[in-house]
Amino acid sequence: MNDGDLSVSYDVLVIGAGSGGLSTATSAANYGAKVAIVESNYLGGTCVNRGCIPKKLMIQAADFVEQQTVARSFCWSNVEGSFDWAAFKSTMHQHLDDLRQSQQESLQDAGVDIVRGTAQFIDGYQVQVGDQILDAEHTVIAVGGSPTVPDIPGSEFALTSKDMFHLPQLPQHIGIVGGGYIGIEFSHIFARLGVKVTLIDTSQQVLSGFDDSLRTIAHAGLERLGVTFIPQKTCSEIVADGSQRVMTLSSKDEDDEAQTVSTDMVLMAVGRSPNLEALNLEKAGVDLKDGNIAVDDYGQTSQPSIYAVGDCIGRLPLTPAAIAEGEAVAKTICCKQPTATDYRWIPSAVFGVPPLATVGWSEAEAKQQLGDDLETYEQRFVPLHHSLMQNAQNALIKWLACQSTGQIVGVHAAGNEAPDMIQGLIPALQKGLTLAELKLVSGIHPTSGEELFVVPKE
């Protein structure tokens, strides 16, 4: 820990110890730089503390409900159980404590100084943290973002994703505003755990921006869970009525009558905003664009000594993207080798019912890029794990390829193993994998993964 000297100089100073900041700091230290990282809260940022990790643990806990159904289909009896939210919450937070301790030890082993407090720029080369002034040849901003709450009457009665991990008890009925991946995943969690869920989105179908095949499957998954989906509406007001939260839902069409929905909890899942308020960016000469820190292809801001990575730059709000950006910026700074982040093959997953995974272009994007030179293939199958269940949900693998070259430009999958299946293809996709090459691969039988190599005929 560095909490003694009033003024310390560093080669690289990182502000924010989330995924992007940790990646930058450890990479720069491994290149031999003198590095410090500033954090006012827990190490690990959103992903470890208020996002990916605790949410995935909640999903895994909720999915034991499905495993009871699967077990019965395989002729097990007396498999019912009950869920203890309070005990799970305690176990989950102990695991997060262990992760934070591990990250602290990794930073210390790498020789990175950890500075606790809120960072404020004095100028392009100096940052103040409490009584300390930190001089840095290069500073990297990695402050992440926070959930956005719309400025509507009664917004103070809404919760955000960060509150979901500390609920004293599960609600009976939750209204979720926003049909992106956060809204889908929390709909999955609460519905599995027996909570009535009403999901509201401004689009006709959930997961705007994803491939339409995956959107359709996600929508069907919500129906299987019993989620009530209200499309093309947004929450324009929340009124507290005793323990109830009454949402007024309106649409862009002025002829549509507003409707009300009464729940005992409202979750706003409508996006995130960068955490820039405390930084004094104007003193550092750092420009913004559309509310995010403006950077070039190499993560450099309008102030040459300052770079930025992660959610605060508004590029691709995913943990793998922030990690890749941090590694690229560290190489740019420390090795004097300008390195851009390649977003083309960064995958993403949505842990709905079933889980969805995607990498490369969606079909709409591929049509825009390739026109009539696009060919698509879909393979639907029932995984062996679900084969004895009645009304088992089909899994999906979808390939998009350039017809003239055979190069695969996008892969989309739905099914319990989809995220792990997809990421195993990425090195080959980066090298220009073609459909013809894919067909030459023999998969392990019987697995869901072998379906990746069974490219159907047109």
421 neighbors 357 (Cβ within 8 angstroms): yes
341 within domain boundaries = no
Closest CA to 421 of 430, 412, 431, 408: 412
Beta strand spans in 160-253 (E): 173-177, 196-200, 228-230, 234-241, 244-250
Rounded CA-CA distance 192/409 in Å is 35
Residue type at 216 in one-letter notation? T
- DSSP three-state, residue 23: helix
Residue type at 117 in one-letter notation? G
Tell me, yes or no, whether 83 and 125 share the same domain: yes
pTM of the model: 0.95
Quick one: pLDDT at residue 252? 85
Last residue of a domain, one of 282, 299, 334: 334
358 bridge partner residues: 348, 412
Q: Would you call 289 exposed, middle or buried from its count of C-beta atoms within 10 A (0-12, 13-18, 19+)?
A: exposed
How remote is the C-alpha of 397 from its chain's centroid?
21
Tell me, yes or no, whether 109 and 210 share the same domain: no
Q: Which residues contact 402 (CB under 8 A, 6 or more apart)?
A: 370, 373, 374, 375, 409
284 neighbors 303 (Cβ within 8 angstroms): yes
Q: What is the CATH number of the domain that holds 254?
A: 3.50.50.60
Cis preceding-peptide flag for 446 (omega within 30 of 0): yes
Tell me, yes or no, whether 70 and 191 share the same domain: no
Tell me, yes or no, whether 174 and 213 share the same domain: yes
Counting the structural domains of the chain, the total is 3
203 within domain boundaries = yes
Tell me, yes or no, whether 302 and 381 share the same domain: no
Quick one: pLDDT at residue 255? 76
Which tokens sit at 331?
A: 């190489």
Rounded CA-CA distance 119/276 in Å is 10
Q: Which residues contact 172 (CB under 8 A, 6 or more apart)?
A: 195, 196, 264
Last residue of a domain, one of 252, 270, 288: 270
14 neighbors 319 (Cβ within 8 angstroms): no
CB neighbours of residue 18 within 10 Å: 32
348 within domain boundaries = no
66 neighbors 225 (Cβ within 8 angstroms): no
Last residue of a domain, one of 241, 270, 299: 270
Q: Which residues are catalytic?
A: 445
Element (H, E) at 166: none
Q: Which residues contact 368 (CB under 8 A, 6 or more apart)?
A: none
Residues 84, 226, 262, 158, CA torsion sign: positive
Rounded CA-CA distance 258/261 in Å is 10
200 within domain boundaries = yes
DSSP one-letter code for 451: G
Q: What share of the chain is helix, strand, coil (3-state, %, to 5)?
A: 35, 25, 40
Strand 126-129 and strand 132-141: pairing?
antiparallel
- Angle, CA 69 vertex, CA 63 and CA 73 arms, to 5°: 140
Quick one: pLDDT at residue 1? 44
154 neighbors 26 (Cβ within 8 angstroms): no
Q: What is the CATH number of the domain that holds 430?
A: 3.30.390.30
Quick one: pLDDT at residue 6? 66
Tell me, yes or no, whether 19 and 123 share the same domain: yes
80 neighbors 68 (Cβ within 8 angstroms): yes
Q: Which domain holds residue 390?
A: 354-453
Question: Mind listing the pLDDT tens digit of every residue in the chain (458 residues)?
Answer: 444 456 799 999 999 999 999 999 999 999 999 999 999 999 999 999 999 999 999 999 999 999 999 999 999 999 988 999 999 999 999 999 999 999 999 999 999 999 999 999 999 999 999 999 999 999 999 999 999 999 999 999 999 999 999 999 999 999 999 999 999 999 999 999 999 999 999 999 999 999 999 999 999 999 999 999 999 999 999 999 999 999 999 998 877 888 999 999 999 999 999 999 999 999 999 999 999 999 999 999 999 999 999 999 999 999 999 999 999 999 999 999 999 999 999 999 999 999 999 999 999 999 999 999 999 999 999 999 999 998 888 999 999 999 999 999 999 999 999 999 999 999 999 999 999 999 999 999 999 999 999 886 65
Rounded CA-CA distance 248/417 in Å is 39
Q: Over the Cα atoms of the chain, what is R_g?
A: 24
108 bridge partner residues: none
Quick one: pLDDT at residue 258? 86
Quick one: pLDDT at residue 92? 98
Tell me, yes or no, whether 11 and 125 share the same domain: yes
342 within domain boundaries = no
